[in-house]
Amino acid sequence: MKVAVMGAGSIGGYFGGMLARAGHDVTLIARNDHLDAIRRDGLIMQTQAGRFIVPCSATADPSDVGPVDLALLTTKTYHNAQAIPAMAPMVGPDTAVLCLQNGIDSFTPLLEAFPDAVILPGAAYIEAGRSGPGVVTQAGDIVRIVTGSIRGSDPSHQATAEVVCAAFRDANVPAEASDDIAVTLWTKFLFITTMAGTTSLAREYLRDLLPRPEWHKIIKGCMSEIEQAGRASGVDLAPTIVADTLDYMESAKGAMSASMHADLLAGRPMELEALNGAVVRAGESAGVSTPINDVIYAALKPYAAGIPAGS
C-alpha cells in the first residue's frame, strides 16, 4: 500500500513508521530539522516494544509524492486551512483519507476538498510524543485506531475502512472498523474536551481539580453538556457515558494531562475550536444550552492563536 502522512510528528510519525516497518511504501510529510533527521538517519521509534530505526521517504512537498492509496491527516486541527489544500497532489479518486485529529467535525473540510475520495473519520488512542528531530516515542499499553465510514456514505466506504484497518493490524497496530464512528468520536471527544477545557481554564492539572467539590461539579457538568449536545445531534451515546468517564478520570489519578493545557502554558496555539468551540457550535445547532463550555471557550479564545514570545 502506498501511504502518505500529512503531519509526521508524534502520532503521524508513529503510525506511519509502523506501516513502513511492515513493508508499506510510506512517505512522511515533515519540515525543518525533523525532515532533515529522517532523511539522514531514518525515523527513530522508541516504543514499548523496543527501539527501531525505520527507513522511509520524507519530504516537505506533497507534490513529490503523487496519488496514494492511503493518506493520514494527523496535523493539529488549527493547521487544516494550510494542510488540507497541500494534500491535493496526494489524493486521487481511489485514495482513502484517514483523519486522526481531535474533535467531532475535524474531518468535514476534507469532504469539500476531496469529494471523490473516501473520507474516513477516526480516533487514535495512543500516548506518543516527539523527543527530538527524527525521533518519535510511544509509551503505555494503549495503542488503537478506530475508524469507519460516514453515516449515509457509499457502502463501499465501510469496506475501504476494513481494508485500512487490516493494514494497520498487519503492522501490529490494533485497529477496528466501527459501524457507527460518530459514537466513537463523541465518546473520545467528551473525555478529551472536558479534560482539556477545565485544566486549561484553571491552569491546573486534573489530579488537582478532581478532589475539589467545586471543580468536580464543573467537570461533571462539562461532560453532561457534551453528552446532551451529542444526543441532540443524533448520536447514540452510552447511557452511562458521564459516570464511566468520570470513573476513568478518577481511577487514572495523576497519569493524564491535556496537550491543550500544555500548549496554553507554553504560549503555543491551541485546538480550542476543535474541542470546546465544537461543543458550543453543536449546542447552538441542536438547540442545547452549554453554559460551562461557553465560559471555557470565551475565556480561552484570546489565547487560542498562542502568545508570541516576549509578550
List, for the chain, all residue ranges whose pLDDT scores fall below the cut of 70: 253-255, 308-311
Strands (E), 60-117: 70-73, 96-99
CATH code of residue 226: 1.10.1040.10
Picking from 117, 60, 108, 59, the residue whose alpha carbon sits closest to that of residue 88 is 117
**Within-domain flag for 277:** yes
Q: What is the pLDDT of residue 307?
A: 83
**Within-domain flag for 310:** no
234 in the same domain as 214? yes
Q: What is the pLDDT of residue 152?
A: 81
CATH code of residue 161: 3.40.50.720
8-23 pLDDT per residue, tens = 989 999 999 999 999 9
Cβ count near 8 (within 10 Å): 32
Q: Which domain holds residue 253?
A: 182-303
Q: What is the pLDDT of residue 24?
A: 97
- Per DSSP, 66 falls in state -
129 in the same domain as 33? yes
Q: What is the pLDDT of residue 257?
A: 83
Q: What is the pLDDT of residue 135?
A: 96
289 in the same domain as 163? no
Q: What is the pLDDT of residue 265?
A: 95
137 in the same domain as 92? yes
Alpha-carbon distance of 111 to 118, in angstroms, equals 9
29: Cβ–Cβ under 8 A, 6 or more apart, which residues?
Answer: 4, 5, 6, 7, 8, 58, 59, 60, 62, 65, 86
**Within-domain flag for 196:** yes
Alpha-carbon distance of 256 to 208, in angstroms, equals 11
Q: What is the pLDDT of residue 311?
A: 52
Alpha-carbon distance of 142 to 253, in angstroms, equals 17
**Within-domain flag for 266:** yes
Cβ count near 146 (within 10 Å): 23
264 in the same domain as 167? no
Alpha-carbon distance of 240 to 246, in angstroms, equals 10
Domain boundary among 151, 179, 207: 179
295 in the same domain as 166? no
173 in the same domain as 32? yes
Domain boundary among 179, 200, 228: 179
Domain boundary among 179, 194, 218: 179
146 in the same domain as 225? no
**Within-domain flag for 87:** yes
Q: What is the pLDDT of residue 181?
A: 97
Q: What is the pLDDT of residue 153?
A: 86
Per-residue b or e along 166-189, where b marks 16 or more CB atoms closer than 10 Å to that residue's CB: ebbeebebebbbbeebbbbbbbbb
DSSP state string for 114-160: -TTSEEEEEEEEEEEEEEETTEEEEEEEEEEEEE-PPTTS-THHHHH
13 in the same domain as 160? yes
Q: What is the pLDDT of residue 276?
A: 98
Helix (H) or strand (E) holding 52: strand 50-54
261 in the same domain as 138? no
Total domains in the fold of the chain: 2
Alpha-carbon distance of 240 to 306, in angstroms, equals 36
44 in the same domain as 151? yes
273 in the same domain as 299? yes
